[in-house]
Structure 1
Amino acid sequence: MRHVLRDTLTLLGLPLVVALTLPAAFASGGGSGTRRWFGGRAESQRAEAQAAKDAAAAAFYELDTAQRDLRISIETITAVDDSPAARRAVADFQAISNRIDEASHQYINAVDAHDLDRDDLETSAAAQARTALGRAKDELGRVKQDLDRFTAGLEPLIGKAETQLARLAPAVERARQGLLAASNALDAVRGSGLKADDLAGRLAALGPELTKLNQGAGAHGVPQTLERAERVAREAESVRVEAERLPERAAEIDHRLVSLRTRAQALTTRAEQLDPILSELRRRFVAACWQDLQHVPDQAAENVAQAELKLREARAARDEQRWPDATALLSTVRALLNTTDESVSAAGDRLRRLNAVQKDPQQEIDRTRFAIRDAQRLAMAGRHTPDPHHARPLDDAVARLERAIGTLEGRHPDYWHFLTETEAVRQSVARVVNQIREERGSGH
């Protein structure tokens, strides 16, 4: 017990001279066999004083144990958390530790002031000892209650800190294993004859990060080390995945090179077939029906030539295993060919639609009128009169359709204008239908 108490007093910062006086103060009440025992009231007072002393000692050790445990928790928090709440907790712990020191001094002084093992202990001295030790015990108990409340308030911070500490070692190990897996994947790819210079550069850039992880959280802080470990693990995993996919990526690029070259050749053939289509459009329909298509053959030829140039550049990048460059160039080729495909297809589609409306414009008229009538029925559903916000655009659509029908009269109708007008009418009607459904869906 003496060495435990000495450690406790040293922890509390009490003078060594006080520590040296404690063994006698804590001597058991039933020690020496030579002490004379007095009966009656004196022995009763001595027993009560000894009981008060034992209770105070128990309160002292309970408070000291709780303080030691809390100090460990505070150290855990400060190792992980530098937030204002954590700094405030440290300051509050220092304040309550000062109160613990004061209560402990009061208790030790009360023990030192009264030797309950004296044979000639007077009744009044025993009563004074009991009172002093009782006050010391009560103060120790009050401080212990405050310490318990303070500890309970720290539970969120302690839980967060312990969680981070528990994550630290596994996170660092995952980072190390991730780097090893990425390195092995890179070696395997290079062994197959493929280059992976960009991936090797990314992996090499993680070297300094691994050095810091190996230096430990003590050198760089727990939160920073945890964040670094997670970042390294993510980047290493990315390198590993890309390295393992590299053979597949190379095969995919080879396939796209062949496919896009075939498509470019096919578009060249289709573009050469535009002249008969444009010639028929010019011969049978007014200029407004085809003049916007005049540039298509030249633009198509230019786009295909540009695509073929980019294909050659992509092939060179593939041969040099510059994978990102090859992928970017192939994306450019695809965009050029998509644009060309749309413009070449537009000429044939134009002729087909103009032929159909010239032969039977009534089909387009009926289709548009049906869309208008359907919208009108929806606008009147559950109402005696339509909402003006719906009726007005629908009335405008009817008038616009009639005007479009009127353009078909005469020797040289502008069928393309008619088709674009009916399409515009159907779009405006569709907007009204969507508006009605949204309003009714929201309860308006």
Structure 2
Amino acid sequence: MVPRAQRQPHHSHRHGHRRRGVGAVRDTLTLLSLPLLAVLAVPAAFAGGGTRRWFGGRAESQRAEAQAAKDDAAAAFYELDTAQRDLRISIETIAAVDATPAARRAVTDFEALGRRIDEVSHQYISAVDAHDLDRDDLEASAASRARGELTTAKNELGRVKQDLDHFADGLGPLLGKAETQLARLAPAVERARQALLAASNALDAARGAGLEADDLAARLAALGPELTRLNQGAGQHGVPQTLDRAERVIREAESVRTEAERLPERAAEIGHRLVSLRTRAQALTTRTEQVEPVLSELRRRFTVACWQDLQAVPDQATESVRQAERKLAEAQTARDEQRWPDATALLSTVRALLNSTDDAVSAAGDRLRQLNAVQKDPQQEIERTRFAIRDAQRLAMTGRNTPDPQHARPLDDSVARLERAITMLEGRHPDYWHFLTETEAVRQTVAGVVTRIREERGATH
């Protein structure tokens, strides 16, 4: 498209013809609407100060046809000019919002159409300038040439107008997308401002409750430059970029507001967790002291294999509790200094330490109970395991004459493994713990076979 500064004189020429063409049409319509006597009374309308000589016949007929062609060309020229102006607004809207290849191609195509419009407009203006249809001595041949050139100009203007209309019809999706984004712009910017205001108010309320919230204040302050850019507008930063910026500001401001509103509750929660974990650490200290008597009984009544993996439990438990208490002290300091993330992380570490210590301390007592039970009645553990095997065997035979070898083999191996475990109970010092670990392993193997059978049959139905 020709730059605006270069086209200005050209437009003035085109618009001069607009006034001339529209004025001629308006004068003609006015004269046609006047009574005959009034028309005869204003001969100056036909010639500048004098009376035009009237030529009859062919010359006047050609002059009238040429004038009609001139009026038609003028109408086509201004229709094209108006359509181009209207479409330029749409193109500028798309260019401001959309940076996709399709949008850039639309801008390029519109510029190409603009060059064609300039060409046919120049052809039209040249045809108008070349012929003075108001001359008294206009010959029929000159009028005929004028009519032909003006008709050609009108037809060219009409063809370009059709191409422009077709191009405009194809802009629908791009223009709809651009207008949708523009419609979102003002509400999005306003939501961002309101989100920042709400975050600021929540932060003030938290500070009013004696909570410093320095980290939240820093996050909110970091949004200041973003608000400045939003206030500068999409004209400076672009519509898509401004929409993205508004969404980021909304998300971050709402996060700050939510955390600020929850801060008093979070502070109270950390205080409760400190008390709870401190109580739990004290209880574990007492329980750790009871592990050694349990180990003494295990050593006295059962073989080394039944308890040697528990030998380190008392020392490990004592050290873990001691470490948990140190972390609790650090968490208390972080709480007092309102370093909430640090306090939360330290409390999570304390909880993990106490959980692992609890499991280790419980393992000694659980071991003694299990060994007591199997020493008193090993048959209960044996029957429990045999039942699991038989149940799996029945499932493997359901709907079959012979079991699938993939299922039968591990079940047969489990039977043999159970029998070997039973023989471990013979002798003067049975290894009850090994017996228990073997029966547990057999049940796990059987459970795996059952799961595979059900999955395979579920897949076939």
Give the TM-score, by structure 2 length: 0.85
Distance 1:355 1:18, change over 3 A: closer
Alignment of 1:315-334 (within 5 A): 315-334=332-351
Which of the residues 11, 14, 27 maps onto 2:10? 14
Partner of 2:382: 365
- In structure 2, the CA distance between the partners of 1:24 and 1:157, relative to structure 1 (3 Å rule), is closer
Partner of 2:427: 410
Counterparts of 1:54-69 in structure 2 under 5 Å?
A: 54-69=71-86
**How far did residue 244 of structure 1 move?**
1.1
Say which is worse superposed, 389-398 or 231-240, in terms of deviation: 389-398
Q: CA deviation at 1:248?
A: 0.7
Within-5 A mapping of 1:282-361: 282-361=299-378
Match of 1:392 among 406, 409, 413: 409
Q: TM-score, normalised by structure 1?
A: 0.88
Alignment of 1:263-282 (within 5 A): 263-282=280-299
% identical aligned pairs? 79
1:173 to 190, 206, 211: 190
Q: Report the alpha carbon displacement of residue 98 of structure 1 after superposing the two structures with TM.
A: 0.9
User: 1:141 matched to which residue of 2?
Assistant: 158
Question: Structure 2 CA distance, aligned partners of 1:402 and 1:38?
Answer: 134
After superposition, the Cα gap between the structure-2 partners of 1:147 and 1:396, relative to the gap in structure 1 and judged at 3 Å, is farther
Gaps spanning 5+ residues in structure 2: where? 32-44
Unaligned regions of 5+ residues in structure 1, if any? 1-7
Q: Which amino acid aligns with 2:421?
A: A
* Residue 197 in structure 1 maps to residue 214 in structure 2: yes
Letter in 2 for 1:150: F
Structure showing greater Rg: 2
Distance change >3 Å, CA 220–CA 411, structure 1 → 2: same
Q: What do residues 161-210 of structure 1 show as CA deviations (whole Å, max 9, x unaligned)?
A: 22222222222222222222211111111112122111111112222222
Q: Which amino acid in the other structure matches residue 193 of structure 1?
A: G
Query: Does 136-145 or 25-34 show the bigger shift?
Result: 25-34
| Alpha-carbon RMSD | 2.8
- After superposition, what is the alpha-carbon deviation per residue over 1:111-170, rounded to whole angstroms, capped at 9, x for unaligned? 334445556655544544444333333322322232233233333332232222222222
- Alignment partner, residue 202 of structure 2: 185
Per the alignment, residue 211 of structure 1 pairs with 228
**Pair 1:189–1:42, CA change in 2 (3 A):** same
User: Matches of residues 21-40 of structure 1 in structure 2 within 5 Å?
Assistant: 23-26=19-22, 27-28=24-25, 29-30=28-29, 32=45
Q: 1:380 to 1:106 in 2, by over 3 A?
A: farther
* Amino acid of the structure 1 residue aligned with 2:303: V
User: Which amino acid letter does the alignment assign opposite residue 229 of structure 1?
Assistant: A
Whole-Å separation in 2 of the counterparts to 1:67 and 1:15: 13
- Seen in structure 2, the aligned counterparts of structure 1 residues 211 and 263 have a Cα distance that, compared at 3 Å, is same
Give, as a single letter, the amino acid of the residue that structure 2 aligns with 1:142. Answer: R
**Which amino acid in 2 is paired with 1:240?**
R
Tell me the number of residue pairs that the alignment of Structure 1 and Structure 2 aligns: 437
- Alpha carbons 1:172, 1:229 under 8 Å: kept: yes
C-alpha separation between the residues in 2 aligned to 1:50 and 1:398?
A: 114
8 Å CA contact 1:397–1:429 kept in 2: the answer is yes
Q: Secondary structure of the residue that 1:442 maps to in structure 2?
A: helix
Distance 1:431 1:46 in 2: 105
Instruction: State the 1:234 CA deviation.
Output: 1.4
Shift of 1:392: 2.7
Q: Contact between 1:9 and 1:19, CA under 8 Å: does it hold in 2?
A: no
Q: Deviations over 1:4-25 (max 9, x none)?
A: xxxx999676264565455444
1:23-102 equivalences under 5 Å are 23-26=19-22, 27-28=24-25, 29-30=28-29, 32=45, 48-102=65-119
Does the 8 Å CA contact 1:35/1:119 hold for their aligned counterparts? yes
